[in-house]
């Protein structure tokens, strides 16, 4: 999905997604509310609204379980992050894209640079294996 709907998440939506990823199983509104309530004061109905909004955006999948709904992430954390990065790069072309990438790498931490090098090496290994 590259229309931006799924990647345009607010702070609370991201917090809900983090809880769903952490739970690693389909979760009810109650499950997510209890997890979020450990670090912030939040109403049950707010969590319900956020989960419904995330389902409409395609960020979570919603399924009925009796009278309740179960929610699970529609994408992994890394997939959503990649979509965000593609979305940001999609706003520039040509030389501007190269400049943006150079600026990003130039300002990246040593850990991020090492991760980027490892990712590029992995892609090169995959290409050679084909």
Q: pLDDT per residue over 29-38, tens digit each?
A: 999 999 999 9
Instruction: Give, to the nearest 10 degrees, the angle between helix 44-57 and helix 11-23.
Output: 90
pTM above 0.85, yes or no: no
Q: Do 32 and 66 sit in the same domain of this protein?
A: yes
Q: What is the distance, to the nearest Å, from the Cα of residue 71 to the centroid of all Cα atoms in its chain?
A: 15
Question: Is 42 domain-assigned?
Answer: yes
Separation CA 117–CA 108 (nearest Å): 12
Question: Is 16 domain-assigned?
Answer: yes
| φ, ψ (nearest 5 deg) of residue 101 | -65, -40
Domain that includes residue 112, residue range:
92-129
- pLDDT beyond 60 at 96: yes
Count of domains in the chain? 2
């Amino acid at each position: 999905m590259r229309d931006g709907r799924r990647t345009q998440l607010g702070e609370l939506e991201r917090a809900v997604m983090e809880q769903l990823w952490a739970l690693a199983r389909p979760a009810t509104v109650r499950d997510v509310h209890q997890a979020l309530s450990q670090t912030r004061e939040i109403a049950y109905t707010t969590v319900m609204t956020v989960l419904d909004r995330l389902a409409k955006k395609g960020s979570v999948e919603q399924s009925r379980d009796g009278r309740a709904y179960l929610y699970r992430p529609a994408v992994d954390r890394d997939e959503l992050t990649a979509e965000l990065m593609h979305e940001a790069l999609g706003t520039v072309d040509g030389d501007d894209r190269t400049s943006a990438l150079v600026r990003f790498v130039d300002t990246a931490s040593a850990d991020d640079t090492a991760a980027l090098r490892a990712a590029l090496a992995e892609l090169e290994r995959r290409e050679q294996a084909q």
